[in-house]
């Protein structure tokens, strides 16, 4: 079985419609060692030196030189909105105060489904709806779950790795 022992940052991976891809939820994108299968059925072993968050668009460098692009899967989320930016900021603070992973955008906050938080948000004047979309929460003050850890691939100079496959 081919082994993926390195991670390339998203900006270092150029992909086209025929690239190897592995589509993973947010929780499945925090890994160290696990057997994986690309969307087209190619099996490989992810074998990183430490548990690493794999953001959407990064690449997994296989021993044979191929690259598998990580794609964030759509998943059920709660979309939080408010009438004013100040109210949304206050709602985001309350979510963060509960140490809940959150993706914070200019006009909405996204969290994983939690009926207790949904009730709290509505009680504070926000609106909550269920949506399906990829989830890229903030990395936090110490970079957890938002950026690549030290296992990413370094090379001299800037480069792009082209990925390829027979995936249709």
pLDDT in tens, 129-146: 999 999 999 875 555 444
Identify whether the C-beta of residue 151 lies closer than 8 Å to the C-beta of residue 8: no
Within 13 Å, how many C-alpha atoms sit on residue 108's CB side? 13
Computed over every residue of the chain, the mean pLDDT equals: 84
pLDDT, one tens digit per residue, over 53-109 is: 999 999 999 999 889 999 999 999 999 999 999 999 999 999 999 999 999 999 999
At 52, is the pLDDT very low, low, confident or very high (cuts 50, 70, 90)? very high
């Amino acid at each position: 079985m081919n082994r993926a022992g390195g991670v390339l940052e998203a900006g270092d991976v150029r992909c086209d419609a025929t690239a190897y891809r592995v589509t993973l939820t947010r929780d499945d994108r925090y890994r160290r060692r696990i057997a994986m299968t690309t969307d087209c059925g190619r099996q490989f072993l992810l074998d990183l030196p430490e548990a690493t968050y794999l953001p959407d668009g990064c690449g997994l460098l296989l021993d044979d030189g191929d690259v598998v692009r990580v794609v964030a899967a759509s998943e059920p989320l709660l979309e939080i909105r408010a009438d004013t930016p100040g109210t949304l900021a206050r709602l985001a603070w309350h979510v963060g105060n509960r140490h809940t992973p959150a993706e914070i955008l200019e006009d909405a906050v996204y969290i994983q489904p939690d009926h207790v938080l949904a009730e709290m948000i509505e009680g504070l004047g926000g609106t909550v709806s269920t949506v399906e979309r990829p989830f890229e929460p903030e990395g936090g003050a110490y970079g957890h779950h938002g950026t690549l850890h030290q296992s990413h691939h370094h090379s001299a100079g800037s480069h792009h790795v082209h990925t390829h496959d027979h995936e249709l």
